[in-house]
Structure 1
Amino acid sequence: MRKLISVAVMSVMALACFPAMAEMKIAVLDYQMALLESDDAKKYSADAEKKFGTQLQRLRNLEAEAKRLQERMQRDGEKLSQTELEKLELEFRQKAREFQTQSKELNESKAAADREMLDSLKPKLDKAVENVLNSGNYDLVIDRSAVVDVKPEFDITRQVIERLNR
């Protein structure tokens, strides 16, 4: 009997919560998409491509040279003298080392530039998010990565991007 009364009381309490939940205003925000789709991020991406383009091209050239050397060693290795083969192997190792060094430098430079851009853009993005949240009077905002599926009317990401681009 006590069990039945407990279940009845819990059911009534659960039903009483539904009207309050029905009035809750919920939104979903893809913070990363808002950041990457902003005009500032797109401009940064184009600028970074120009800034790091020559280094990237040098890396591609080094990679092509190393592949060419490796293919030559595999193709002509038996025909070459020991001295020529050692010379090719040394040249290949030098290209590979140079590739690794330049690749590491490029990655570090790009990561530093990315961090700098994020540091400058984050306050603007936070302000845009705050403005959209305040104007929409939302009770709960959930990160898009935590949601399996959402109806478009609950996703405020585009609103945040538009606010950020103003």
Structure 2
Amino acid sequence: MKKMMILVAMWLLASSSVWAQSQPVIGIINLEQALFNTDAARALEENTRSQFRTDEERLERLNGELREIIERAQRDESIMSEDELRQLNSDAEEKQVQMQVIAERLQNAWNQRQQQFIESQRQFLGQAIEAVVQEGSYDIVLNAEAVAYFNNSFDITALVTAKLNELAR
């Protein structure tokens, strides 16, 4: 009986190690996060913000002026004439249009810079993923956007970001 237990235990141990060896090593990566968490992406954001700081300040100033107009209209509506209310409304609309133009210009510039950055980093991203896959002996790497759920232990995004930073040096 004792020999039988030892044989069964050895068989279970051997079969579980074979089973463990046959399991694929899986990694999950959020490509956008890996790319935009890099030092290069942070530098791009700082550069873009400094280049468009004047527009951002103008946008904030217009927003403050619009808030003042709205507060004044709410506070003084009962004592204002129709002409004064129309003028306030016209001023508010003008500020909104100006804000929209500036916001669209900023958004377009940011989108364009992001696209250029993605294109410039595409090759490095491929190299970083390949290096992480080889170092971690991954059998399968899936895009996080294509996976409904995964345990964070499968996430290799930070490893790829670190490798991208390493390649950029």
TM over 0.5: yes
Normalising by the residue count of structure 1, what TM-score does the alignment of the two structures yield? 0.76
Return the alpha-carbon distance in structure 1 between the equivalents of residues 83 and 51 of structure 2. Answer: 41
Paired residues for 1:109-124 under 5 Å? 109-124=109-124
Q: 1:43-75 CA deviation, whole Å, 9 max, x = no partner?
A: 112212212222112111111111111221221
Q: What is the match of residue 125 of structure 1?
A: 125
Change in 2 beyond 3 A, CA 1:100/1:150:
closer
Paired residues for 1:1-166 under 5 Å? 19=19, 22-145=22-145, 146=147, 147-151=149-153, 154-166=154-166
28-37 or 51-60, which deviates more: 28-37
Alignment root-mean-square deviation, CA: 2.3
Change in 2 beyond 3 A, CA 1:85/1:133:
same
Question: How far did 1:21 drift?
Answer: 6.7
5+ residue gaps, structure 1, are 1-14
SS class of match (2:80): coil
Question: How far did 1:128 drift?
Answer: 0.9
Normalising by the residue count of structure 2, what TM-score does the alignment of the two structures yield? 0.75
Runs (4+) of structure 1 exceeding 6 A deviation are none
Amino acid of the structure 2 residue aligned with 1:150: N
Return the alpha-carbon distance in structure 2 between the equivalents of residues 160 and 77 of structure 1. Answer: 58
Question: How far did 1:84 drift?
Answer: 2.3
Change in 2 beyond 3 A, CA 1:27/1:80:
closer
Return the alpha-carbon distance in structure 2 between the equivalents of residues 95 and 116 of structure 1. Answer: 32
SS class of match (2:24): coil
Q: How many residues of Structure 1 are paired with residues of Structure 2 in the alignment?
A: 148
Change in 2 beyond 3 A, CA 1:87/1:156:
closer
Q: What is the match of residue 10 of structure 1?
A: none
Return the alpha-carbon distance in structure 2 between the equivalents of residues 21 and 87 of structure 1. Answer: 76
